[in-house]
Structure formats: structure tokens, C-alpha cells
Amino acid sequence: MSDTRPIPFQPIEDQKENIQPLREGRSAAALVRVFAVPTLELRESQENERDQYEAQIANTDDLDDPLQPFLDYIEWVLENFPAGQNAESGLIQLLERCTSQFRDTAHYKDDPRYLKVWTRYINYSDAPREMFVYIARKEIGKNLALFYEEYAAYLETNGKRLQAKEVYEAGIQVLARPITRLRRKYKEFLARLEAQPLAVDEDGSPALPVARAALSVKESATTVYSPGEGSSSATRSPRGKLQVFNDPTNKHTEKSGGAVLGSGGWDSIGSLAARRKENVMEAKPWAGETLESTVPAPRTKLAIYKDSPVAGKRPEHISIALDFLNDGHGEEYCLEEVLARSRKILDLTYPLPAQKVSLKDDDDDLPPRPASPTMTMHTKAATEEIYEMFNQPLQSHSTDGDTSEDDFGDNSDLFD
């Protein structure tokens, strides 16, 4: 009897930002089972289960379907590590092991389960288009509609709709199964294309690998291609000869994107870690290692002031009672405030000097007033004062009661 109790959502609510969504969805019961167990117990349980899956995929020689243990292992990783790819899950490494082990197995090339492993691996790749071209050269999913749908969807998402149209038409041409679904997807694509027509400068380069006759030259051939002709046939040049390289194993190859293309495609596409090795530091023990600083050293050192004692001079000390440094409310005074407080002038305020304010706003018509009296004003006032002194009459003086005239006589009219 199945358990019909509702699944508590609180453990999922607390960890929902760490859950990677999947196209096929996730099981709520599996998420609660992962997040409800303490971390230490969960890791021990996961390590034991991982060892069991590793033992299963190590002994697949006697199985009728050796792909199934890998599929079960991948499904277990997706359920027990909701965050997706990280160092603990090892999802990318597992996908690489699965895709590389059955890459040349003929009866898995058109197996939808194996193709889904490839599409999941491509989602983590840094070069998805090259991965689609690689599996096309290996003829993986050649007769499956899933390959053409996934590849066309990627091209359309990245603005290469003309190439996406080419991919749909190539799948319909080979009658990839299920052909009904592929034709429906292609019809929906044409409707979107009609709503937004192709641009003039749309990328029209081939989306799928095409075999070229120029690669089928014989060994030790001395040929040159004439760009003026439309064919790719080799013609002799009257001016000079072009040496065409041929490898000693007589495998006519082409270099494309840093890899060597053969008749069956790349021999190995490598791992994601190998393609990123230039951006990853090699793991080394930290003991005895020194890290180089990227910050340039300063040219001049900043001199720190030190109050060194002067010879013959007593060192200065400031002695202040702690009561003067605190106002009693938690606020401290500086030395200048302490000095003012000791002199009882800290809180004194002084009246501001009186300022004269002009009652008339517009003083443009008045002549400029001198800032101070001029020398001419001083001279005129002094002259008037001297005249006033000399204009006063002289007083007569008497000696011993006798009245006598001054020796100079009456000079009252001296300044008349």
C-alpha cells in the first residue's frame, strides 16, 4: 500500500535556491529524503551507495545491456545531488565515462537513452556546437529525431535560424524517428520564422559536417587548386607547384578547431577538464609554497613621525585630572577644552560687534564714501584752530597791585 501522506515542503523551501531544475522535473520525495537527513549521515550513506554503483559499472562485460548500470548511476547522482555538477557529485566525470565507453558501439548509436546522455553532457560543455558536430560525424543519433530537435533548438536560441532550418530538413530527409514529431517541430519553427523573417546577413555556413572531395587526393600528389574555376579538381599551375601534405598512414585528415578530423570524425573529443586546463591551477600541497603578490611594491616608504627627545631638554608631560576630561555624561573634552574649562571660560559667549546695515538697498547713486578722513580735512581743521588761538585778545597782568603795560605795548591790532 502506497503512502498517501502529504510530503512536507519545509525542507525543500529552505534549500530551493540550491536545487538545479531538470527538464523532466524532480521528485519531491527524493528531495525531502536528501535534505531531511543530517549532513554527516547523508555523506556516509552516499559513499556506500556510490561504491555499489561503481562496482556495477566495472562488471558490465556479461550484461546484455551494459548501458543500463550507467543510466542508473546517473539517475542516482541527479536525485542525491540536487545542486547539479560540483566536486561532490562528479556528474560531468560520470557523463564523460559513459559517452566515451559506448562511443563506437554500433547498436547504441541510435539508442535514445544513449543520445540523452550526450545531450545532458552537452549542456555542461563550453562548446556545444562542436559537440553536436562531433556526434554527427560519429553518426550518433543519426536516425533519431531527438538529435535534430536538440541541435536545431540550440542554433535557434543562438540566433542561427538558417542553420537550424538546415538541421530540421536534414532530419526529415533521413526520416529520423519519430518523423511525425520532427515534422511538427519543423512546422512550429517555420511559424516562428514567418513571424520574424531572416535577416540579410544571417549566418548560412553549414551546420552539419560535409565530406569534401578535396580531401581525397592521392599520396605524394603535387597539385594546386585554381580559385578561378568552380570545381574542386586539381590542375597543374604553370607558375609553380603547391606541395600538398599527406600523412604517412595515408589517412587524409583535416585540421579544424584544433582537432584532427578523420573519415569517422574525431578519435576523441577529450574531457571538459582537459579543455579547461589552461584556466585551472595545478593542485599542489600548500606546505612550503609562497604566493606571489600581484600588488606592486611602493617606491617610497611612508615615514612615521616619532617624537624623539631633544638633548638638554626635559621631556614634556601633560598631567590632567580625569574629572576635567569627562563632562559626566560620557563625552570627553580635548586638551583645548580642558584648558578653557580650567579657566572657566569654556561656555562663555561674547556679544558680536555691532554691524551697520544700510537702510537703502540701492546705493548706486551715492558717491563713494572714503574709508577714513583724508589729510586735507586734518590740515583745514588745524588751521582753523590756530586762527582761533591768535584771534583771542591778550590779558593784562599786574605786579604788586600796579597796573602797567606789557613791554611790547598794546599789540591788540597785531593780527587785525
In the chain the domains, ranked by start, together with CATH numbers, are: 1-101 (1.25.40.430), 125-210 (1.25.40.930), 213-249 (no CATH)
Contact indicator for 309, 315 with CB cutoff of 8 Å: yes
| pLDDT of amino acid 41 | 77
**Nearest 5°: phi and psi at 159?**
80, 15
User: Do you find a cis peptide bond into 21, omega within 30 degrees of 0?
Assistant: no
| pLDDT of amino acid 110 | 94
SS3 87: coil
Angle between helices 28-36 and 67-80 (to 10 degrees): 60
The DSSP element (H or E) to which 128 belongs, if any, is helix 128-137
Strand pairing of 402-403 and 398-399?
antiparallel
Distance CA 58, CA 167 (A): 37
Contact indicator for 146, 116 with CB cutoff of 8 Å: yes
Task: Give the predicted TM-score (pTM) of the model.
Answer: 0.54
**Nearest 5°: phi and psi at 191?**
-65, -40
Contact indicator for 166, 178 with CB cutoff of 8 Å: no
Distance CA 151, CA 154 (A): 5
Distance CA 298, CA 315 (A): 35
Q: What is the pLDDT along the chain (416 residues), one digit of tens a residue?
A: 456 667 766 667 767 777 777 777 777 777 767 776 767 777 888 889 999 999 999 988 888 999 999 999 999 998 888 877 777 888 999 999 999 999 989 999 999 999 999 999 999 888 899 999 999 999 999 999 999 999 999 999 998 999 999 999 999 999 999 999 999 999 999 999 999 888 777 777 788 876 544 444 444 444 444 444 444 444 444 555 666 555 444 443 333 333 333 345 556 777 776 766 666 667 778 777 777 777 776 677 777 777 777 777 777 777 777 777 887 777 888 888 888 888 888 888 777 666 665 655 555 555 666 555 555 555 777 788 877 877 777 666 555 555 444 454 554 454 44
Smallest CA-to-CA distance from 36 within 11, 3, 66, 14 is with 11
Question: Residue 81 corresponds to which cell in the numbers above?
Answer: 545531488
Cβ-in-10-Å burial (0-12, 13-18, 19+) of 62 comes to exposed
**Nearest 5°: phi and psi at 211?**
-75, 135
Smallest CA-to-CA distance from 171 within 137, 147, 189, 191 is with 147
Question: Residue 191 corresponds to which cell in the numbers above?
Answer: 511559424
**Nearest 5°: phi and psi at 259?**
-120, 160
Contact indicator for 238, 227 with CB cutoff of 8 Å: no
Distance CA 333, CA 312 (A): 32
Distance CA 142, CA 144 (A): 6
Tell me which amino acid residue 26 is: R
Listed in sequence order, the residues at least 6 apart from 100 whose beta carbon sits closer than 8 Å to its beta carbon are 268
SS3 206: coil
Q: State the CB neighbour count (10 A cutoff) for residue 309.
A: 9
| pLDDT of amino acid 245 | 54
